[in-house]
Structure 1
Amino acid sequence: MVRSVHVLPHTHWDREWYDPFPTFRGRLVAMLDELLPRLEADQAFHHFQLDGQMAVVDDYLTVRPQQRKLIGELSTAGRLSMGPWYVLPDEFLVSGETLIRNLQLGIARAEEFGGAMHVGYLPDMFGHIAAMPQLLRLFGFEHAVVWRGVPLSIDRPAFFWESPDGSTVRAEYLSAGYGNGSGMPADAAQLRERIRMFTEVQGELVGQTVLWMAGMDHEAPPPHLSRVVAEFQSQESLRSTPDGAGTGEDGEEPETYDLRIGSLSEYLQVAPSTDLPTHRGELRSGARANLLMGVTSNRVDVKIAAAVAERTLERLAEPLCALWSADPSREQPLLDLAWLEVIRNAAHDSICACSHDEVVDAVLHRYAEAIRTAQGVAQSAVLSASSQIHKSGILLLNPCARERVELVEIDVTASDLAGAWSAGQEFETSDQSWFQVLSERAAHEELHISTAADAPLIVARELIFEHPETAQVVLIERPESAAEGSDSGAILEVHLLGELVGGETPTALSPLDALSELGRRCERDPGLRISTVLHHPEASSRVLTMSGQVPGFGWALWEPHAASSKVQSLGPWGLTNGLISVEVDTT
């Protein structure tokens, strides 16, 4: 009996793990510098799989851009497979949208080199979400390849995997992981013994055709790969002849092997897909492989950063940009950069934080950059919306599809309240049933007091960078007796105003003239102290309050709304709204 052995040369490349990314990139460059010329020159080395993720290609080409043409030629010829993922992700610790963007980016990048491997390759994820078959089907994939998480109820090398919505893929089960063919012996007889032992140990979990995964973490196929396969085939040919085969102890013809190098897609094209069991839902069993469940709760700071970055992109930046940006296409490169950082962090050894501390630092930095970039796009869209909606008042934007009433934090003035309050109603400052004051700002705000030596530079910074809206400046010198700690006993007040001051107020100067006059006075009196005062149109308060109804993907002007349940004191250390009570334990 002849048994086929499909040899799949590959590597599994963690971008960062027990060493930081720069270290692993150096090893990646060295590996591919040796491997690609060998693959190109050795036609018997039919195929190599670059771990199902495009990030390794981009990482390599960052250092070796001249190799782009060769990689494209090998991929187009079917000698090199890549994608469909951009990185091999953890499925539980990132959002569904991140998984989708990951596949989209990986497939798009692979298309630039001849196309992506059309297989849902999931070799080392720490368990699998129930929706993965649905996601793969959405991208047109019919096959998945899995290892960790498969339960004991699966007793053969493949099964149908079904999502809750009914979407189904055929799942190839790597019962011994993705490295059963790692470290292939240089001797054909030794290789034969390893294959025989593997099939005996795995039993029914190995099909009639053996998938021999010739690779491992950060490992390249050995230089003797094609030679030992050829020698193996030659020896097996002799075994299959009447003179060479002999008979076993039971009188039956002994098993021989047909060893071939090929791609994963070629293997799956002929793999059996009938009479397979069906598994529905998550793959979260640790029965046959360690699931590393601790990664879901370690380094909570990383998980929080991931959630903030994803939600800022998905629920703020992108919807606000699409709805309100004057030209969303101009913002798209920024969104793409933010998503790239989030997707890179989705790699299982990155988001899982089961890595070197330097790796975790890098992951947090990428999330911080993604968050800041997304916040900038969102803020730009809000400013654009304010210029498009010609209504006076406090504008509320809703980036969600559903109508919402939310707790909001806003800055209000007496004028805002007078304009927002319904006709015939009076605003009572003592009635705090509808708001909570967080902070208050006076109409005249003292920014700082500085010395004569520092004041010209400090005031110039305020005028140019901090408060460029200043139209007029008034200089008022206070009486000597009011200045404590001054050598000359004098304080000069520098009042920054947004409007021309009239009446009995001293003559207002332009910002440039005021800086010149300030410089002269500081030079005359080195002991002078300068107080910079910013004038606002009126006093204001930052408050927490209810928004009122804001339509989905729409806007509304804020109006005061009384809370449905008033907050009241509950004893000396508690609060209650009638529904929820909170008391502080002072013991």
Structure 2
Amino acid sequence: MYHIISHTHWDREWFAPADITKKMLPSLFQKLFELIDNNPEYKFVLDGQMLLVKDYLSNFQGEERKKAEDKLKKYSKNIAFGPYYGQIDWRVSEESSIRNIILGGQEAKKYGNVMNIGWLLDNFGFSSQVPQINFKSEIEGCFLWRGLNMKIPKIGFTWSSPDGSKIHGIFLLDSYRNIMRLKDYPEVMEKRLELEINKLKKYSKTNYLPLLNGYDLDPVPEDPTDGELKAVFPDEFIQGYFKQEDPSLIEKYVGELIDGSVVSTFPGSLSTRQYLKIMNWHSEYMLSKVLEPLIAIVDNSEDDKEIQKAWEYLIMNLVHDSIGGVGVDQIHEDMEERYNKIKEIFESTLNKVLDKVGQILPLGYVCLNLNLQELPVLFENKENLYRFSAPAGSISKVNLKKYNVNSSEKPINSFHWENEHFKAFVENGKLRIKKENNDYLIRAVLVEDKGDEYSSAFDKELNLTFSEMRLKAQSDNYSKIALDFTSNEVDFTLNLTFSELPYINIEIDSLGKGSDYGLLLALIGDGDINAGVPFDSVKRPYEVKYEEPEEEMKKFLVAAREISFNNVFPMKDYVGLEKDDYFAAFMAKGIYSYTTHSTNSLEKAVSLILLRSVSWLSRENVKGRIGDAGPVMYTPGAEVKRKMKIEAAFCLSDKDNFLKYKNSFINPPLLFYKHRNNSDSENQPVVVHKFYSSVDENIEFVNMKPSIDEEGISLRFFNPSHKKKKIKLTQKSIKTDLLENELEEFDGTIKPKEILTLKIPKLSFNTFSDDEGSKVNIVYPKFTWDISEDLSKPNIGIINNMEREAKDLKEHIKDLEKKIKETQGINRYELLFEKYKLMRKALELELSSLYNRSKIEHVDPSKIEHIIVELNDVRIKRRGIEFLLATLR
């Protein structure tokens, strides 16, 4: 008896928007309910995400919706719900990865059968703390496919985070679709199953082999169970497997899983449609670092539903295909609408919360700094420069120093700056920074990109003209200059701000004009690469060389994969070079990847990928990748022809103090101003409230929010170091897991690399009744992104070419259909496979042309929907007959 897992992998937004894919779900569920009625032992996995259920229910209203919900509850013992809200990109998500589990669990509990296994079939790789996040959320195992560096075939593995948290894992050795649509061809069903079992059983001593019956967007589930196959849920599978398996057959992995040599992790998707990444970063920051802490401080729970809605929008957009930018333009336009809704919720809720915040603030300038470091802050506002120091973990009055700034637009040929941290020289569009024996060069680089939405393929350096340098503002301790660049592909300005701080602000104002390029900001110098990633920092090589897989693995290479080498890697917030006691690093808001690609063989460079412009969802024969990545569809929106502001900085400091300066840039204190005419603030307190402190400053604040049970406040920290640290709180606190289940009284210790969640009582403040009626506003920082509307227009020549090619393919298909009628045996199936392959390509081209025509003229939406349904059906049939042929051969 072997075990089978039936499922559907639901890419709700990919070549079709969610508004269309959700219409496929009623028939899927109806078929699923019929299968359960016919076989009460049948079991089915809803792709590990509750968005599938939410989309299904969105087809109904009123009483019909209630009936649909009741039916889900009726069949719940046969259906695995959750554990996630959406199938997010774990390389990008930080606090949102925790909310994904919390919201997913809350939705799943409505139906009664919550899966406690991470169902991670198609996510594009994983950050190092995924085991800890899942383990601390009562998820102790996972099924996954991408990211493992596997030399020889293995099914079982254990996966540990840097803190020691460990989960069990099943690698889907022969993909998540190896016995999909088994009943479509009953003449080979038994043989196909036998071959698959024999293929896998060599790698396990158990009868728990990863046999998965399901496919992408497959709306027709089937029940292939019989005397030889038993349906199981993933948790049953993992328990049985690890109880029986020979330990020598179980692999061990630690840290991030981003290897693409067996199955692609599509590193280029981290820089596709850069505008989405910036919106995502700001959205997560506004919710987790600004709005929720303020709501927790003033105990304002009346906006809970609105905040939850904002998180739901954010997680919808974090689904790996969506935030990866690997879909048609219409999908990413829907994402922009969601990001704008998040911003609207933030702004409206913030205005209400500030009224309550005003009641606990004294008059004048007051800052909220939830970081565990006292932070220096310097900012420009109108014609003045302001400087203050923000005490750690507190609400405090601040002594705001004001400096006059002389503004100008004066052309200059060179620029020099020196402070106690470094010397800087700017000439010919390049920035050189020196400190003792350390010498760094920063320059903008424009390179050709022959890739697609999935994969970057950086090549030769393109012509980039440095136009001029301008002095924009100056004072005794501050200067701002602008470097203007132009090219056929993109125009941009680097705005560099120098001060007494050890970092240089770099604002990039860009306007995309062309396509098929990458804009990089290169840091050239010596040192070891260290990159920030969600809840961690990792050391990385300059490139990873991919050797050809062993013969034993080759029979399992069934999808696109990276070949030769990889020099594009994930990051979050910073990446830099460590040398001796110094760290030279780029810090950036909303850039999630860097590259070590260099057009000069003598230079070793670590470069932020500021933006990447491509024209196609997927291309054939992309350098560095082999295999089919996705539909061949024209996507002019991915050319990023927009005005866009990117916020970055360069920091050079000793390693022990880097976190302080990183937080000063990435998570700056909030500066409030409370004003009322004829008021005297002399007798008001300097420190309004102290939340917590630490002897060792190298601990990161993550989030503060009202606790789920609304009886207290939830606090989250992270220890990025390899040493145990201490946190001192002013109130008694309880340690909880990430779901906020109480564990024990907090002893003040945070372990190395630990994500720590605490529950504290609600806060009590003195109110300043004499200030009633005074206004409070946030002076610094600003909460927004600066991105224009899409300025791209579809190329009518490309549309016409796609339509001609689709027409030619259909003629070829007609000829094939005649041959198919005259052919028997395996040759007939081979011709059928060729037919479906051509049909898929023709429909992709036809759909792509309609999508793009709809931007310039009216197109009947029902025509688009019809082609989507037909294309989805052909994709499934093509894959099914591919398995049939493999069996017959």
Superposed pair shares fold, TM > 0.5? yes
1:82 corresponds in structure 2 to 81
Give the 3 Å change call, closer, same or farther, for CA 106–311 of structure 1 in structure 2: same
Q: Which moved more, 1:197-206 or 1:214-223?
A: 197-206
Q: Distance in 2 between matches of 1:363 and 1:286?
A: 27
1:403 equivalenced with 2:399 (yes/no): no
Shift of 1:583: 3.8
Equivalent-residue separation in structure 2 for 1:148 and 1:379 (angstroms)? 43
Alpha-carbon distance between aligned partners in 2 of 1:203 and 1:74, rounded to the nearest angstrom: 33
Query: Retained in 2: the 8 A contact 1:319–1:400?
Result: no
Per-residue deviation, 1:265: 2.2
Contact kept? 1:93, 1:352, Cα under 8 Å: no
Measured in 2, the distance between the counterparts of 1:333 and 1:183 equals 41
User: Which is worse superposed, 98-107 or 287-296?
Assistant: 287-296
Q: 1:375 to 1:405 in 2, by over 3 A?
A: farther
1:287 aligns with 2:288: no
| AA matched with 1:111 | K
Question: Which has the larger displacement, 150-159 or 119-128?
Answer: 150-159
Q: Give the deviation of 1:202 after TM superposition.
A: 4.6
* Distance in 1 of aligned mates of 2:342 and 2:306: 9
Number of residue pairs aligned between Structure 1 and Structure 2: 414
Matches within 5 A, 1:117-266: 117-153=115-151, 155-186=153-184, 190-202=188-200, 204-205=202-203, 208-209=206-207, 210-222=209-221, 225=223, 229-230=225-226, 233=227, 258-266=228-236
- For 1:369, what is the secondary structure of its paired residue? helix
Distance 1:354 1:187, change over 3 A: closer
Distance 2:411 2:255 in 1: 47
Structure 2 CA distance for aligned equivalents of residues 396 and 148 of structure 1: 44
Correspondence 1:50 to 2:46: yes
Give the letter aligned to residue 365 of structure 2: I
Structure whose residues are more often helix by fraction:
1
1:267 Cα deviation after fit? 1.9
Is residue 384 from structure 1 mapped to residue 356 from structure 2 by the alignment?
Answer: yes
State the AA in 2 paired with 1:280. Answer: V
CA contact (8 A) 1:157 1:204 kept: no
User: Could you tell me which amino acid in structure 1 is paired with residue 24 of structure 2?
Assistant: R
Structure 1 residues 100 and 549, CA gap change in structure 2 (3 angstroms): closer
Q: How does 1:561-576 map to 2 (within 5 A)?
A: 574=415, 576=417
Structure with larger RCO (C-alpha < 8 A, sep 6+): 1
Matching residue of 2:95: 97
State the superposition RMSD in angstroms: 2.6
Q: 1:259 to 1:556 in 2, by over 3 A?
A: same
Cα-to-partner distance string for 1:353-379 (whole Å, 9 max, x where unaligned) = 100101111112212221332233334
**How far, CA to CA, are the matches of 2:205 and 2:278 in structure 1?**
43
Change over 3 Å in CA distance of 1:262–1:551 after alignment to 2? closer
The answer on whether the counterparts of 2:144 and 2:170 sit within 8 Å (CA) in structure 1 is yes
SS at match of 2:293: helix
Secondary structure of the structure 2 residue equivalent to 1:360: helix
Q: How does 1:514-553 map to 2 (within 5 A)?
A: 543-553=384-394
Q: Secondary structure at the match of 1:114?
A: coil
Structure 2 distance, partners of 1:558, 1:124, is: 52
8 Å contact 1:395–1:557 — kept in the other structure?
Answer: yes
CA distance in 1: counterparts of 2:26 and 2:415, whole angstroms:
62
After TM superposition, give the deviation of residue 92 of structure 1 in Å: 0.6
1:109 aligned counterpart, secondary structure:
helix
- 1:158 Cα offset (Å): 0.4
What amino acid maps onto 1:34 in structure 2? K
Opposite residue 122 of structure 1, the aligned amino acid is L
Match of 1:512 in 2: none
Give 1:225-374 correspondences, 5 Å limit. 225=223, 229-230=225-226, 233=227, 258-273=228-243, 274-275=246-247, 276-323=250-297, 325=298, 327-374=299-346
Instruction: Report what 1:61 is aligned to.
Output: 57
2:342 alignment partner, SS class:
helix
Alignment partner of 1:353: what SS?
coil
Identity %: 25
Q: 2 CA distance for matches of 1:140 and 1:79?
A: 21
Higher percent of residues as strand: 2
CA–CA distance in structure 2, aligned partners of residues 63 and 222 of structure 1: 19
Aligned partners of 1:173 and 1:299: how far apart in 2?
31
What is the alpha-carbon distance in structure 1 between the residues aligned to residue 35 and residue 305 of structure 2?
36
CA gap of 1:580–1:379, structure 2 versus 1, over 3 A, is farther
Answer yes or no: is the 8 Å Cα contact 1:161–1:281 preserved in 2. Answer: yes
| Counterpart position of 1:27 | 24
Residues 127-176 of structure 1, C-alpha deviation per residue, up to 9 Å, x if partnerless? 12211111111012221111111112463210111111111111111012
Q: TM-score, normalised by structure 1?
A: 0.66
Give the whole-Å Cα distance in 2 for the aligned partners of 1:358 and 1:155. Answer: 40
CA deviation after TM superposition for structure 1 residue 187, in Å? 5.9
Amino acid corresponding to residue 74 of structure 1 in structure 2: Y
Q: Describe the shift of the 1:570–1:116 C-alpha distance in structure 2 as closer, same or farther (beyond 3 A).
A: same
Is the contact between residue 156 and residue 207 of structure 1 (CA under 8 Å) also seen in structure 2?
Answer: no
Per the normalisation by structure 2, the TM-score is 0.44
| Matched-pair contact (CA < 8 Å) for 2:32–2:221 | no
Secondary structure at 1:330's aligned position in 2?
Answer: coil
Quote the Cα distance in structure 2 between the aligned partners of 1:544 and 1:384. Answer: 29
